[in-house]
Amino acid sequence: MRKIRTFSNDTELVNERRNHIVKKATELIARKGYNNINTRELAMSLGMSTGGLYHYIGSKEDILYLIINFTSDLTTQALARSVTSSDGQGASSRLRASLKIYLETVENYRDFHNFVNHVMLSLSVRDRKIVYEAESRVVDYYESLLRSGIESGEFRKHDPKLIAHNIVAIANAWANRGWYLKKYYTLDKYTNEQTDALLAQITSQEKKPSGNSG
Amino acid sequence: MRKIRTFSNDTELVNERRNHIVKKATELIARKGYNNINTRELAMSLGMSTGGLYHYIGSKEDILYLIINFTSDLTTQALARSVTSSDGQGASSRLRASLKIYLETVENYRDFHNFVNHVMLSLSVRDRKIVYEAESRVVDYYESLLRSGIESGEFRKHDPKLIAHNIVAIANAWANRGWYLKKYYTLDKYTNEQTDALLAQITSQEKKPSGNSG
Amino acid sequence: MRKIRTFSNDTELVNERRNHIVKKATELIARKGYNNINTRELAMSLGMSTGGLYHYIGSKEDILYLIINFTSDLTTQALARSVTSSDGQGASSRLRASLKIYLETVENYRDFHNFVNHVMLSLSVRDRKIVYEAESRVVDYYESLLRSGIESGEFRKHDPKLIAHNIVAIANAWANRGWYLKKYYTLDKYTNEQTDALLAQITSQEKKPSGNSG
Amino acid sequence: MRKIRTFSNDTELVNERRNHIVKKATELIARKGYNNINTRELAMSLGMSTGGLYHYIGSKEDILYLIINFTSDLTTQALARSVTSSDGQGASSRLRASLKIYLETVENYRDFHNFVNHVMLSLSVRDRKIVYEAESRVVDYYESLLRSGIESGEFRKHDPKLIAHNIVAIANAWANRGWYLKKYYTLDKYTNEQTDALLAQITSQEKKPSGNSG
DNA sequence: CATGAATGAGGTTTCATTCAT
DNA sequence: TATGAATGAAACCTCATTCAT
């Protein structure tokens, strides 16, 4: 976590205000685009004065950093929950549980996920790296999950990196292609069908997918 | 095709200049972001004067429209080539040929594809619709291809809309997640592995996938 | 009073600044013409920054509206003073008193009156209407004053609308033909001679004009 | 007549084109204001190319000069016609004939007259002088007409300069207050009533005004 | 700690004028 | 003589940031 300029030493207050800023800004940016909201407007929606906003950030661009940082944390937490939620079970079950949590997170923080696509080109190289690392962590997690399933014989042999990447792509799609998907799928249906399709793809032939779709 | 203001009646010239503008602008935007290039800079890279630029567009925002229109046309053309390139062959072969063309287009026009994610939030509702429609056309194309494979018994029963959507997600990923993928895959390898994985997922069990992976 | 964009909620401040703007802008425009002053120059003469100016107006054109509105108010106030200043007296006396106030107003706000001629063609239809209405109010006032003089027998029969209109034309002339008139007349002399000439024209023959000219 | 840059030596052609320019420009300016028409638009309405326009003028501002020059000539011609039309008759008749011609000219060239008010503030000092002189010539003409009537005893004693000025003001009003006057008067009615009112004002008491109004 | 008026650099856009064709 | 694409200075306006209160 890089240091952002503050005029206050009250860490609690600063964190609270920054959380507020992150959420409102993400919402506004998701609706209008980063460059189409100005600090005046943002401060007003926050119930702050223009000057007040600058007590908790050093520059408008800092907001981008705060948001991607928040998003990165979300991902980390989702992964942590994935790990604990199905600990000790088989690879298929762990994959199924994990996808559910992952897609729920995407649904709940859709704006944050879309935001990343939107501002990627506006980010400094340093900040882009944060995004890259967060996404890489997810791919790595799924890659090792898939790899363990292959080793245990539960999954047949395939390229786990590619499939892990596809999982991320499919999860992101729920956020940035929602305009299309929501016409045909609920999150539940999407989650189940995708999970089934994925398991059909990678499960060893002798083992039938459990198939509780729809 | 909406009408964009011009000061010239020479359609040929206007088209030529606009093509030039679209290409250069896309490149610049892909590098720096739409709001981080100014019209002066853009005009200079085009070898034009600031005023000259405005002989072929009505406003900076019009450039966004020109680009998404261009991208939409690319997609349409890629689909048309897909159709003709493997006409009369089986569903698997047509899918394989089609993916190859699609991913090549994405590779060649990666900037354009990334551009769309970047500016989506800055677009007017009217312009967003163009993007939606172009993407829908692609999904529809793959959906009907998959459906015909199911009918012929070549593919086993599955949700063709979902898989068609996944294809688009995976193709887009080559553009907007290139920073990750290019570390591990060439386009060829990516194309072949994804095709194989896809066919593994949907091909009827009695038929073995042809499996000519890179 | 149409709403003009402000960035401040302090009505007092806004009014004060707009008054300042109206006065300075009128002076500058009277000297150089609306299109020959730029916002930078205007802001500087106001002792403001360019941006500061735009805290109190929404666009340069709004200044035109503010000025004609101000001018319209001046006229209304001058008429109100005319009415009260000679209440209860005969038509001749009321006419004389009224002309004095009217011409004094024109003299004091000559720039405003000239401004109206100058920008008339640049005004929106909506804003032109404000000017028309203000001038109509003056004509109406004199028309009814003349009519009451006819009814009382103090004035001989004539077309009161035409004469009322001439009064306005003659008063305006003091503003927009000042370059000529000031060579030969002081305001006092102009006022008195015009009043005498007017009364000579409309007073019933038996009643001699009071004739305190010069 | 100041020299305006030309690219042609064909005086006839140049004059013809300039006449065309003057008329069209006046019309456009009367409708939209000098600064709201650009040379592109003007050239197009003239059926010329932008460059072509500049073969007959040296700058956009030259158009203003050409127009006021044209207007000044109109006035001179109208006066000349006034003089000849009623030569040898009495002052009243000459005044009546003269006013008729003057107001007809104003009516026919209303745009030109309004134009003068509009651009006065944009004119160079040199060009303003042309306008002043043209208007002074008219005042002078009426002043001497009135003076001769006083000398002959036809008009009673009054300030002929003031009344001459009023005549000009009243004639101008037909152009720039037409929006009001046309609601109540035809040109004929206006001319006759004004003439009668004027003669009522200045004719010696023993002589009754001839009074052939509307 | 909060406010919001002020700043002024920098953005987009216009347009009178030129000049190669 | 005519054209109209090109120029580039200058216009209007915005907005992130500061700072006196």
- Flag whether B touches A (3+ CB pairs, 8 A cutoff): yes
Closest CA to C176 of C130, C111, C120: C111
Answer whether D48's CB lies under 8 Å from D21's CB. no
Smallest CA–C1' separation from C55, nucleotide: E5
Minimum CA–CA partner of C191 in chain D: D162
Of C180, C181, C197, the CB nearest to D201: C197
**pLDDT tens, position by position, B174-189:** 998 888 899 999 999 9
Residue nearest to nucleotide F11 (CA to C1'): C38
What are D2-32's pLDDT values in tens digits? 889 998 888 889 999 999 999 999 999 888 8
Quick one: average pLDDT of D80-109? 91
Indicate the pLDDT class of residue A212, thresholds 50, 70 and 90: very low
pTM of the entire structure?
Answer: 0.88
Mean pLDDT of chain B: 90
Lookup: nucleotide whose C1' is closest to B63 CA: E12
How confident is the model at residue C89, as a pLDDT? 87
pLDDT in tens, D25-74: 999 988 888 999 999 999 999 999 999 999 999 999 999 999 999 988 98
Over chain D, what is the mean pLDDT?
Answer: 89
In strand E, the nucleotides that come within 7 Å of a protein beta carbon are 1-20
Cβ contacts of C33 on chain D, cutoff 8 Å: 119, 121-122
How large a percentage of chain C has pLDDT more than 70?
95
Question: Strand F positions with any atom < 7 Å from protein CB?
Answer: 1-20
pLDDT for A157-172, tens place per residue?
Answer: 999 999 999 999 999 9
pLDDT at C205 over 80: no
| Nearest C-alpha in D relative to C33 | D121
**Measured between alpha carbons, how far is residue A111 from residues A28, A32, A163 in Å?**
9, 12, 25
Percent of chain A with pLDDT over 70: 95
- Separation between Cα atoms, residue D49 and residue D47, nearest integer Å: 7
How many Cβ atoms are within 10 Å of D136's Cβ, its own excluded? 16
Q: Is the dihedral of CA C147, C150, C155, C157 positive or negative?
A: positive
Lowest mean pLDDT among B202-206, C145-149, C190-194: B202-206
Render B90-155 in DSSP notation, one character per residue: -HHHHHHHHHHHHHHHHHHTHHHHHHHHHHGGGS-HHHHHHHHHHHHHHHHHHHHHHHHHHHTTSB
User: Which among D36, D161, D177 has CB closest to C184?
Assistant: D161
Structure token digits, residue B57: 């567009």
Which chains does chain B touch, 3 or more C-beta pairs < 8 A? Answer: A
Helix axes D91-108, D187-202, angle to 10 degrees: 150
Nearest partner of A42 among A59, A24, A30, judged by Cα: A24
C61-202: CATH architecture:
Orthogonal Bundle (1.10)
C210 at interface of D, judged by CB pairs closer than 8 A: no
Closest residue, by C-alpha, to the C1' of E15: D38
Quick one: average pLDDT of D153-179? 94
Instruction: Give the chain D residue whose CA is nearest to the CA of C137.
Output: D180
Q: What is the pLDDT of residue A205?
A: 65
pLDDT at A191: 97
CA distance D179 to D192: 19
Is there a contact between B192 and B212 (Cβ–Cβ < 8 Å)?
Answer: yes
Mean pLDDT of C65-85: 90
Residue A170: which of B118, B169, B201 has the nearest Cβ? B169
The pLDDT value given to residue B212: 46
Sequence-distant (6+) residues with CB within 8 A of D42 are D21, D24, D25, D28, D53, D63
Buried b (16+ CB within 10 A) or exposed e, C38-72: eeeebbeebebeeeebbebbeebebbbbbbbbbbb
pLDDT for A126: 85
Tokens 């976590």 — which residue?
A1
Please state which of the ranges B44-53, B127-136, C97-106, C143-152 shows the lowest mean pLDDT: B127-136
Average pLDDT over residues A189-196: 96
Confidence at residue D208, expressed as pLDDT on a 0 to 100 scale: 44
Contact residues on chain D for C170, CB-CB shorter than 8 A: 166, 169
- On the question of pLDDT at A29 being above 80, the answer is yes
pLDDT of residue B56 exceeding 90:
yes
**CA B44 / C1′ F7 distance in Å:** 13
Q: pLDDT per residue over A90-143, tens digit each? A: 899 999 999 999 999 999 988 888 888 788 877 888 888 888 898 999 999 999
pLDDT tens-digit map of A32-65:
888 899 999 999 999 999 999 999 999 999 999 9
Residue B66 amino acid letter: L
Residue nearest to nucleotide F17 (CA to C1'): A59
Distance C50 CA to E13 C1' (A): 18
Question: Which are the contacts of D159, defined by CB distance < 8 A and separation ≥ 6?
Answer: C193, C197
| Contact yes or no for D121 and C30 at CB 8 A | yes
* Rg, chain C, Cα only: 20
CA D77 to chain centre: 10
Residue nearest F18 (alpha carbon to C1'): A51
Q: What was the pLDDT predicted at A88?
A: 81
Are C170 and D169 within 8 A, CB to CB?
yes
Which of C 32-71 lie inside 8 A of D, CB atoms? 32-36
Q: In the predicted model, what is the mean pLDDT of residues B117-132?
A: 84
| Cross-chain residue pair C118–D121, CB shorter than 8 Å | yes
Helix axis angle, D91-108 relative to D60-85, nearest 10°? Answer: 150
Residue in C26, C34, C99, C121 to test binding to D, most D beta-carbons within 10 Å: C121
Q: Across the interface, do D36 and C165 touch by the CB < 8 Å criterion?
A: no
Return the residue of A nearest to B158 by Cα.
Answer: A197
Q: In D, which residues are within 8 Å of C193 by CB distance?
A: 159, 162
Structural tokens at position B68 = 């998404």
Q: Is C136 on the interface with D (CB under 8 A)?
A: yes
